[in-house]
Chains A and B, each alone.
Chain A
Amino acid sequence: AQSVTQLDSQVPVFEEAPVELRCNYSSSVSVYLFWYVQYPNQGLQLLLKYLSGSTLVKGINGFEAEFNKSQTSFHLRKPSVHISDTAEYFCAVSDLNSGYALNFGKGTSLLVTP
């Protein structure tokens, strides 16, 4: 069975600093990987996704993530964060064995302060 681990439940960072939110997954087959963001009091929206091809994917708001098959990771990065990036970030995976149902990690709360 697949699983998703987000290693950090909370990540505090200063404005304009770089940030990396970690995500590891386990699956015995090819996977599709996603990062979703939930701003305070809002619904979830897709940040970026990896389906195939280039392992470096770029998403909205300056975020990017790199698929590393050997390390089974899909870490999310941003070189310079803004106060408005404060939100909950969820990593998700789907694969054939799960019928392509989305399986989410527990989320990482990113808090950006001045």
Chain B
Amino acid sequence: GAGVSQSPSNKVTEKGKDVELRCDPISGHTALYWYRQSLGQGLEFLIYFQGNSAPDKSGLPSDRFSAERTGGSVSTLTIQRTQQEDSAVYLCASSSRRVNTEAFFGQGTRLTVV
């Protein structure tokens, strides 16, 4: 595709359920980021994949959060046992090379935990 694609665009889930959020980066982009955007909190870094290097997981808020990137392309962010405070917009971005010149963002997945 032409841009970063995220699915679903909206997700409503019950507290305690697990959710999976998907990101399809721009083809050929080696770097992939996940961020969380909450009202008044700006963009919170979650995890960063760069090529075949070990991902930078320093931003994951708890062990309920995990992410994978299969084959250096598609990424899935998984949130287990969701809590109401997990409600936010989850943004994915990708960029083309190690020395980042521009990260392209998807439209995000709006997660609502009820």
Enumerate chain A interface residues (CB-CB to B < 8 A).
6, 9, 32, 34, 36, 42-46, 49, 51, 90, 94, 98-107
**With an 8 A cutoff between CB atoms, is B90 at the interface?**
no
Select from chain B the residue with minimum beta-carbon distance to A46.
Answer: B102
Q: Contact check: which of B45, B50, B98, B106 meets A104 at CB < 8 Å?
A: B45
- The answer, among A49, A90, A99, for a CB contact under 8 Å with B56, is A99
B56 touches A101 (CB 8 A): yes
- B80 at interface, CB cutoff 8 A: no
- B99 is an interface residue with CB less than 8 A from chain A: yes
Asked whether any CB of chain A lies closer than 8 Å to the CB of B107, the reply is: yes
Enumerate chain B interface residues (CB-CB to A < 8 A).
31, 33, 35, 40-43, 45, 48, 50, 53, 56, 91, 93, 98-103, 105-108
Residues of A within 8 A of B53 (CB): 99
Is A94 in contact with B105, judged by CB distance below 8 angstroms?
no
Extra 6 A-B pairs, beta carbons < 8 Å, given A36-B105, A99-B48: A43-B107, A90-B43, A99-B53, A100-B100, A102-B93, A107-B42
B104 → chain A, closest Cβ, in Å?
8
Cβ–Cβ contact A101 & B42, under 8 A: no
Q: Which residue of B lies closest to A109 (CB)?
A: B40
Per CB-CB distance, the 6 closest pairs between chain A and chain B, nearest first, are: A106-B42, A104-B43, A101-B48, A44-B105, A107-B42, A43-B107
Chain B residues positioned under 8 Å from A9 (CB to CB): 40
Considering the complex, give the chain A residue whose CB is closest to the CB of B89: A43
